[in-house]
């Protein structure tokens, strides 16, 4: 059963509030218009599990009953907002709930005041949206979880593969710079061996948090496996990528964590590459990874770029890990 909070519909210099708390939405009206809408929506609203597709289908259908200029859906718990159409001065807001479970809020807007009959029709139409919307939210949650690293909360390797494909496509189409930073925690095996695997997990989470907190909103950070992370920097050339990497390296080196009786310091080594016109995913990653291992071989806690690969490396007896 769908419980709806009656909307606030605003006129200039006038606020009106109607409360329908604890009331239930009845089945859609038997009017010809709503019956036809129900027949169409029964198939269309359930045809997709993509949230935007479901809301767009609903918005198009409800416009055949009550003309609206815009629809905004927000779900704070899911950190999700979908905006369709355009925002206008008059609005009708509904909170969708069922048995204490919130599906979020929907706001309809238009330039003309909503009549009481139109508000009733909007309420009845929203009853059709409940199950398709719930299914879309569950699907989105499952998809988000499949692209998230459970330990650090960062995006995982699967998310990285999707993102690098998208970012390379954008860089090629629009001739935009794109840089990649590959990061590896120094002496991570020693932390696991000396302090325990729980300490190692805490260290991974700590490094992930430091990286996430110091990046721009447009930057993307991934844990791609073990103690290795990748950062994608859109609209950043090699010089800019190197500066970001150095700032991150310093932030991590200045930090430490305490796990039980162990105070654990941490450093990382980084390799940076930048997009070239004929690059694919493997070529871009290979250069960054090679620069990373040059930084390892140079003594760790360093940032190397693909430019450094052309220089003769120091003669060390063994590869550092």
Active site residues: 227
**DSSP secondary structure letters along 115-173:** PHHHHHHHHHHHHHHHHHHHHHHHHHHHHHHHTB-TTT-SB-HHHHHHHHHHHHHHHHH
CA distances from 102 to 57, 134, 135 (A): 21, 9, 13
CA distance 146 to 207: 21
CA distance 38 to 61: 9
The enclosing H or E element of 96 equals strand 90-98
Structure tokens that stand for 53 in this block:
């597709």
CA distance 127 to 71: 16
CA distance 167 to 231: 12
CA distance 98 to 311: 64
């Amino acid at each position: 059963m769908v419980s709806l909070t009656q909307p606030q519909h605003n006129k200039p210099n006038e606020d009106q509030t109607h409360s329908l708390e604890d009331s239930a939405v009845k089945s859609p009206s038997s009017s010809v218009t709503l019956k036809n809408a129900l027949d169409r929506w029964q198939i269309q609203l359930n045809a997709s599990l993509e949230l935007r597709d479901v809301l767009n289908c609903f918005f198009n259908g409800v416009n055949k009953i009550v003309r609206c200029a815009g629809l905004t859906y927000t779900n704070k718990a899911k950190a999700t907002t979908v905006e369709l159409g355009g925002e206008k001065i008059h609005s009708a807001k509904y909170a969708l709930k069922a048995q204490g479970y919130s599906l979020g809020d929907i706001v309809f807007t238009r330039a003309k005041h909503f009549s009481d009959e139109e508000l009733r029709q909007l309420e009845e139409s929203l009853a059709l949206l409940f199950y398709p919307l719930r299914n879309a939210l569950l699907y989105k949650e499952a998809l988000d979880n499949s692209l998230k690293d459970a330990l650090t909360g960062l995006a995982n390797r699967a998310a990285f593969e999707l993102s690098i494909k998208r970012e390379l496509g954008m860089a090629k189409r629009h001739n935009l710079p794109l840089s990649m930073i590959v990061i590896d925690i120094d002496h991570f095996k020693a932390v696991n061996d000396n302090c325990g695997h729980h300490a190692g997990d805490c260290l991974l989470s700590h490094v992930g948090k430091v990286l996430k907190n110091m990046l721009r909103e447009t930057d993307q950070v991934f844990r791609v496996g073990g103690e290795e992370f990748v950062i994608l920097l859109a609209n950043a050339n090699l010089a800019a990528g190197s500066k970001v990497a150095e700032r991150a390296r310093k932030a991590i080196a200045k930090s430490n964590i305490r796990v039980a009786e162990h105070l654990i310091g941490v450093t990382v080594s980084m390799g940076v590459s930048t997009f070239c016109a004929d690059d694919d995913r493997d070529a871009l990653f290979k250069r960054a990874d090679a620069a990373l291992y040059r930084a390892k071989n140079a003594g760790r806690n360093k940032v190397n770029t693909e430019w450094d690969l052309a220089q003769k490396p120091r003669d060390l007896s063994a590869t550092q890990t």
